[in-house]
Structures are given as C-alpha cells and as structure tokens.
Amino acid sequence: MAFWSEQKVIVTGGNGFLGRHLVSHLRSQGVGALVTPRSKDYDLREKDDVIRLFRDHPDTTMVIHLAATVGGIGANRLHPGLFFYDNIMMGALLLDQARRFRVAKFVGIGTICEYPKFTPVPFREDSLWDGYPEETNAPYGIAKKALLVMGQAYRAEYGLNAIHLLPTNLYGPGDNFDHASSHVIPAIIRKMIEAQEAEIDHVTLFGDGSPTREFLYVKDAAIGIALAAEHYDDPEPVNLGSGYEVSIKDLAHLIAQAVGFSGEIRWDTSKPNGQPRRQVDTTRARERFGFVAQTPFEQGIGELVAWYRANRVEADQPHRL
C-alpha cells in the first residue's frame, strides 16, 4: 500500500476489458493518482498525442501499457496489417516518450502469441526466440515482441526500467463478445446461448477441437500485473498464466455444461486451428514476484456466463478495432 500511494500511474487501455479490472485493483491498493486516457482524447498511434499525454501529466512515475488492437483468429486473418501497425506504433511511441519524460518504470503487456508456433510445452521464456510465431497471429505477436526488444534496448542505453509480461489468453467479466473479433471462450458462449434461444440443435466451431490453450482469469491477471509493477525490475520477459491446459474440444463441452446447451457440437475443419498447444511455465512469475493464479477454471467460466446473461445489451455491441 505504501508503494502504490506514492505512484502516479498512466494505464493505457484502462477503460478496456483488462484495464477496468487492473484500475479497480490499483485503486484498492491505494494508488496515489491514476490516469486512464481515452482514444477520443489521445490517439496513441500519433506522436503529438502521446507527447501531449505526458505533458498533461508531467509527474507520472509509471506507465502500464495495456492498450492494444487485438482479436481472435478471424480478426487476425482479416487485419494483419492493422494489428501490426497499431500495436507497434502505440508501444514504440509510449516507450520513447516515457524515456524522454523521465518516467521511472514502464510495464509492457505482451502476448502469448509472441512464442514460436511449435514451442515445447510448457512454454519457457527462454524459448521465445526459437522459431516463428503461428502464422495467423504472427503480425500481432511480432509487433509485441519488437516492443520487448525496444524496452531492453532502452534499459541498456537510457536506463529506463522497462519490463515485459506475457499473459496467456484472458477471460472473465467484461470480455469482448463481438462475433467478428471475440476470442474463443466468449465466442463459444455466445454461439451456444443464441442457439438455445433460436432452438437450434447444434453449433459449429472453428477447426477440429484438438488445439490446447491456457486461460487466465482477468482478475488474476490484474493482480499479477500489479505485483510485477511493484516488485519486478529485470529485463527478461515473464509469463503470466494459470498452469491449466485444456483442449478446445474439452473447453466447448465445459462451456456447454455451464450454459446448459445440450445440442451437437460440430467442427468446421476448413477453418484454421491456430497454434497446436499453449501452456506456459509460471516459475519465473512465482519466484520473482510471488504471482500464482487463484481462480479455478470452472468457477471463472461460470462467472463469465452469469455476467454475459446479465449484460447482453452491453456485451453484444460491435467491438471497434
């Protein structure tokens, strides 16, 4: 609490899915001041806007950069250029101006998509450079990985305390349920609930169900980011995960049970599977800053389903990229 009371923090993306949970957690920790810039006021892809952000808040001590242009497999395939450009520009401009305005610490949020397509499981941070990312999300992953390198370079040349975190797939209340850009958990939940309402006896999902994923409850992710921001000061990237690996096929059945969907689950094998397996080694996060995810997966899925049913109007709104 003493640490956070002395901090003035800019949280980019602070009004988004992860950002709202992080902001809530930082306030519970007694953060001294908190700035959550909105895109209508500051376009973080534009140098002049980023400079103005720091001029408007000259005593900022920390930046936690969550803002991102992101989506599921479909969105990645449709917008590879957009995903690369937006993410690399936002991160590069923020890092550079944080250095110029003498911000003490920069917390960069990367992505599990930075890892090579065929990384040995569990993913260890030392494997990050052992191959090319999975093709459908490579532009996004490479843009984020470039920001890891930039942070390390700025640490070496300018002394900027930049750290880089690699969260696994997030889920939880406030998730994006837009058909065009949602990730796998909200996409399946929405499909199954809409099939129930329309009395359709099946749903069709991407791929063949064989890939595995690791999911991190968004409130756990917020705690992990805050712990790293307070306690971790080294250049090496750090995984944030739950340690729980589940196949997409098993995930679909788990969600069906949570939703109460009893219809058939069909698989469209003309659609890509994405990366074959994802599970991270969480040793570094546990040893360096004491982060261990606490939310059981079934509990988290149940809470997300309940949130979605209670917030359909908000949740079903198109998600602007």
Per-residue pLDDT tens digits of the chain, which is 321 residues long: 799 999 999 999 999 999 999 999 999 999 999 999 999 999 999 999 999 999 999 999 999 999 999 887 788 889 999 999 999 999 999 999 999 999 999 999 999 999 999 999 999 999 999 999 999 999 999 999 999 999 999 999 999 999 999 999 999 999 999 988 888 999 999 999 999 999 999 999 999 999 999 999 999 999 999 999 999 999 999 999 999 999 999 999 999 999 999 999 999 999 988 888 999 999 999 999 999 999 999 999 999 999 999 999 889 888 766
- For every residue of 238-284, DSSP letters joined together read EEE--S-EEEHHHHHHHHHHHHT--SEEEEETTS---SS---B--HH
Q: What is the DSSP letter of 174?
A: T
**What's the rounded Cα separation, in Å, for the pair 99 and 160?**
6
3-class SS of residue 76: helix
State yes or no: is 140 an active-site residue. Answer: yes
Amino acid at site 25: H
Q: Output the CA angle 152-153-154, nearest 5 degrees.
A: 90
Residues facing 109 on adjacent strands: 165
Give the predicted TM-score (pTM) of the model. 0.94
**CB-CB contact of 6 with 61 (8 Å):** yes
Query: CB count, 10 Å around CB of 126?
Result: 11
Q: How would you class 51 by CB atoms within 10 Å of its CB: exposed for 0-12, middle for 13-18, buried for 19 or more?
A: middle
**What's the rounded Cα separation, in Å, for the pair 240 and 112?**
9
**CB-CB contact of 315 with 308 (8 Å):** yes
Which CATH code for domain 2-175+214-245+278-296? Answer: 3.40.50.720
Catalytically annotated residue among 115, 140, 154, 171: 140
Query: CB count, 10 Å around CB of 268?
Result: 10
